[in-house]
Amino acid sequence: MDITRLSDPLGASITGVDLSQDISGAEGAAIRQALLDNVVIVFPGQKLADEDQERFCRNFGELELVRTGT
């Protein structure tokens, strides 16, 4: 996994991790730290189903799910 600063004062791009798969504890910790350090993080090139995004987000705490449509 590579974390690259985008600009000052905030922003980082994270590549080399497939968010459609389970992430390791070390990857989760690195992502959490990148968010704390950079305020905004982006994951370019990810193609996530709704379920993948939910699973990824659960690594960082309880979710409040709001479903729209059918």
User: pLDDT (tens digit, 9 = 90+) per residue, 30-65?
Assistant: 999 999 999 999 999 999 999 999 999 999 999 987
User: pLDDT (tens digit, 9 = 90+) per residue, 3-35?
Assistant: 999 987 889 999 999 999 999 999 999 999 999
**Entry pTM:** 0.82
Residue 34 and residue 14 in contact, taking contact as beta carbons nearer than 8 Å: yes
Residue 46 and residue 57 in contact, taking contact as beta carbons nearer than 8 Å: no
Domain segments of the chain as ranges: 2-60
pLDDT at 70: 65
Sign of CA dihedral 28, 32, 34, 4: positive
